[in-house]
Amino acid sequence: AGEDIHDFTAGLIFDVDVKDVIPEMRTVAKRVNFGIIYGMSAFGLAKDLNISNAQAQDFIDRYFFRYPRVKEFMDQAIDQCRQTGYAVTLMNRRRDIAEINSKNGSIRQFAERQAINTPVQGSAADLMKLAMVRLQQQIDQHSLNSRMLITVHDEIIFDLVPAEEMVLTDIVHREMEGVMALKVPLRVTLKKGKNWMEMEKIV
């Protein structure tokens, strides 16, 4: 529906309407969203957010109550990895995780987090790499002087020639959002500026 997942989670864990979510609440929700999907415990979340273990556990309980299929996904990812010894991304890139059946609890728990993390973060990395390949092909095809410089997490930084802004914007928007058809559509925000402190939204 195009809703902001972090605002939505903030409304859930702070028990407020989404329109009343303030930036500080969204920041907490963002850390809860990423922390939980990467297997963070209540203790780890409490330390990360500087709150009590009880509060952190309450956040996690509310999260799983609202998103029961996330817990399902996490359990399935671990079970499947236990059976096969590896996890795979959306593009079938395989990561061997032999430690998933370790008798050492700490090692096993770390492997379980990897089993959950790989299909999520590994798939995001796959999408970024595929988008970059397609973007470079388009830049070459259009004989642009603008250059793709670097990635920062889920962002791609370009050195833009001002006269090419319209064509590059169109290429980046189209290629990144169309890199793979998913049930939840991929959305891209484009910004420009002389540096990160002076960015303005284009799309």
Which H/E stretch holds residue 165?
Answer: helix 165-177
128-148 residue pLDDT tens: 999 999 999 999 999 999 999
Which pLDDT belongs to residue 153? 84
| pLDDT for residue 12 is more than 90 | no
Centre a 10 Å sphere on the Cβ of residue 81 and count the other Cβ atoms it contains. 26
pTM above 0.75, yes or no: yes
Burial class (CB in 10 A: 0-12, 13-18, 19+), 128: middle
| pLDDT for residue 180 is more than 90 | yes
Which pLDDT belongs to residue 32? 87
The end-to-end CA distance of the chain, in Å, is: 18
63-120 residue pLDDT tens: 888 889 999 999 999 999 999 999 999 999 999 999 999 999 999 999 999 999 999 9
What average pLDDT does range 19-46 have in this prediction? Answer: 88
Report residue 3's pLDDT band, with 50, 70 and 90 as the boundaries. Answer: confident
Select the more confidently predicted residue: 55 or 94.
94
Distance of CA 40 to the CA centre of its chain: 15
Backbone angles phi, psi at 10, to 5 degrees: -60, -45
Which pLDDT belongs to residue 129? 96
Calculate the alpha carbon distances from 58 to 13, 46, 99, 113, 172 in Å: 8, 10, 30, 21, 41
Q: How are beta strands 147-152 and 94-96 bridged, if at all?
A: unpaired
d(CA 128, CA 105): 34
- Encoded amino acid at 151, one letter: T
Report residue 15's pLDDT band, with 50, 70 and 90 as the boundaries. Answer: confident
- Residues of the chain with pLDDT > 70, as a percent, come to 100
Which pLDDT belongs to residue 67? 85
d(CA 98, CA 135): 36
Report residue 36's pLDDT band, with 50, 70 and 90 as the boundaries. Answer: confident
Beta strands of the chain (E only): which ranges?
A: 86-88, 94-96, 147-152, 155-159, 191-192, 200-201
